[in-house]
Amino acid sequence: MRWWSAANLVSNVGTWMQLTVQNLLVLQLTGSAATTGLSLAVQAAPGLLLSLVGGSLVDSWPRKLTASVSQALLGLVAFSTAAFVAFGMLTVPLLMVLAAVTGSIATVDNPACSLLGNDLVKRKDVPSAIALGSVVHSAGRLLGTAAAGATVAWFGMASAYVVNGLSFLAVAGVIPFLKLVPKEEREPQTARERPAPARAAASASGSASVGSKRAPGRGGSREGLAYFVRNPRLVALASITGISAIFGRNYQLTLAVLVTGPLAAGAGSFSTVSTVLAVGGMVGAVIAGCLRKPSVRHVALLAAAGALLQAVAGLSPSLVFLILLVAPMAVVESVSDTAGTTVLQTEPPSHLRGRVLGVWRSASTGWGLIGPPLLGLLMETAGARGGLIVGGLAIVVVTAAAQLAQQRRVRLPRLRPAYGTANRAAYGTATEPAGAVAAQAEPEPVGAVAARTEPAGGPSLQKLQVVPAPRTVPTAAVAAPEPEPATV
């Protein structure tokens, strides 16, 4: 994990150097702020359109190989851009094509690297690993943005792309030497994955019903989308994160307008506020590492607390008061973001995580594109203070509604044994009460379903109908998976 974290720090530094220089490069070529924004939109667009496909590929291909190849391809694009810049061959259309290629590769690279980092630690340590990744990301952003100016001043704009290309190669070179934690230590033993005696016997006898099932990870991208929309916890998480991203996280816009407008301070003062935000985010990521079992409820409470602090910040009478509020606001929201990422990466079963992350990337790209214009319109209408206050209150309302909605009861379909009453051995022993099978199909509250790794009515429930078990197998060994850490 130490080598992986060090490689990620180097990669983040290079990425932020390139992003900083890319904006300056477009401005130098065109002198147009609109074209600069268009280049960022072109790079983000594949995330909106292709992330479902990218997530499906991550589920289907070997994780380490996928991450290594994607990192190497991103490095190749960076080196190509550096060559075009150095020889004066870069044009705006060519830059747009390179940005689109980078965004397309990232639809595979992002989920592959995220899940690979989780595979390096035991399941109980995943929150700490994600928190460490947040700290590395924040540190890389600070160092990369600062290093971009010095590097360009000394060696020119092409040097930033060269550094980024080398950083990608560094990660690609480290990945083959990473040691993954054994699967049984990083994944819960679910009903779908446990090598139960009944399943082994059915496989040995060449059961057509079992053999006809597709291997995990080989399904289409629609399977990940179906799992996402049928999981109330993930839908609630998306609602909370989306409303927070639109009205609560664009501080480079909202706080800049507040500091330079109603508070009548200058650019230096806003730089101080930005530094406090960055430091608070790093502190929050460290604190988030102490959360062993974060849930959507934790995310909701933290998001609401951060939104209330934002609303109070809109009433700040002075710059000092604002800075005192910004520090805890950054800490709370960083813990909320890290907890949400942990839920997102641990809630789905392992064979669907790439596709679920693809769905999430598509959604996050969407609200990332519509957020700034909506927030700008709100601030134009309500003013700098009104935008912060109204935005904060909107987050609180939507967060409360999402938390209530995700607690609704989930109705499970009735199980229908394929072989009549004789098939009851698939669910328990010969002495099991007659009503035991029917009782399992009755509707359960969400809390009772939290331990499952598939949505209600998913394939794991259907498999139980057709796989007979020996009469000596206890009910719990087949009918119910061992309890996993609660996510709600």
* Tens digit of pLDDT at every position of the chain (488 positions): 788 888 889 988 998 888 888 877 887 888 776 777 788 778 888 888 888 888 888 888 898 999 999 999 999 999 999 999 999 898 989 989 998 999 999 999 989 998 888 788 887 888 788 888 888 887 888 888 778 878 888 888 899 999 999 999 999 999 999 988 887 766 654 434 444 443 433 433 443 333 334 444 445 678 888 999 999 999 999 999 999 998 988 787 788 888 888 998 877 788 788 888 888 888 888 888 787 788 899 999 999 999 999 999 999 999 999 999 999 998 998 899 888 988 998 888 888 888 998 899 889 888 888 888 888 888 888 888 999 999 999 999 999 999 888 776 444 344 444 444 444 443 343 334 444 433 333 444 433 333 333 333 443 333 333 344 443 333 333 333 444 443 33
What local confidence, expressed as pLDDT, does residue 122 receive? 84
Q: Which two tokens stand for residue 209?
A: 């019903």
- Which residues, at least 6 apart from 192, have a Cβ–Cβ distance to it below 8 Å? 216, 349, 453, 454, 459, 460, 463
Distance of CA 307 to the CA centre of its chain: 21
What local confidence, expressed as pLDDT, does residue 175 receive? 93
What local confidence, expressed as pLDDT, does residue 317 receive? 92
- Which residues, at least 6 apart from 160, have a Cβ–Cβ distance to it below 8 Å? 17, 18, 20, 21, 148, 151, 152
What local confidence, expressed as pLDDT, does residue 202 receive? 40
What local confidence, expressed as pLDDT, does residue 114 receive? 85
Q: Which two tokens stand for residue 129?
A: 């690993």
- Which residues, at least 6 apart from 391, have a Cβ–Cβ distance to it below 8 Å? 247, 248, 254, 307, 310, 311, 375, 378
The CA-to-CA distance between both ends of the chain, in Å, stands at 28
* Of 253, 255, 263, nearest in space to 374 by CA: 253
What local confidence, expressed as pLDDT, does residue 188 receive? 55
Q: What is the dihedral of CA 97, 98, 103, 104, to 10 degrees?
A: 70
Contact 280, 331 (CB under 8 A): yes
What local confidence, expressed as pLDDT, does residue 448 receive? 38
What local confidence, expressed as pLDDT, does residue 342 receive? 87
C-alpha to C-alpha distance for 212 and 225, rounded to whole angstroms: 22
Q: Which two tokens stand for residue 345?
A: 């990466």
Cross-strand partners of 444: 410
C-alpha to C-alpha distance for 309 and 25, rounded to whole angstroms: 37
C-alpha to C-alpha distance for 170 and 68, rounded to whole angstroms: 10
What local confidence, expressed as pLDDT, does residue 219 receive? 52
* Of 118, 115, 108, nearest in space to 358 by CA: 108
What local confidence, expressed as pLDDT, does residue 23 receive? 76
What local confidence, expressed as pLDDT, does residue 284 receive? 87
C-alpha to C-alpha distance for 31 and 419, rounded to whole angstroms: 73
C-alpha to C-alpha distance for 414 and 417, rounded to whole angstroms: 10
Q: Which two tokens stand for residue 350?
A: 């392992």
Question: Taking the CA atoms of the chain, what radius of gyration do you get in angstroms?
Answer: 25
Burial of 41 (0-12, 13-18, 19+ CB in 10 A): middle
Per residue in 149-165, is it b (16+ CB within 10 Å) or e — as a string? eebbeeeebbbbbbbbb
Beta strands in 200-271 (DSSP E): none
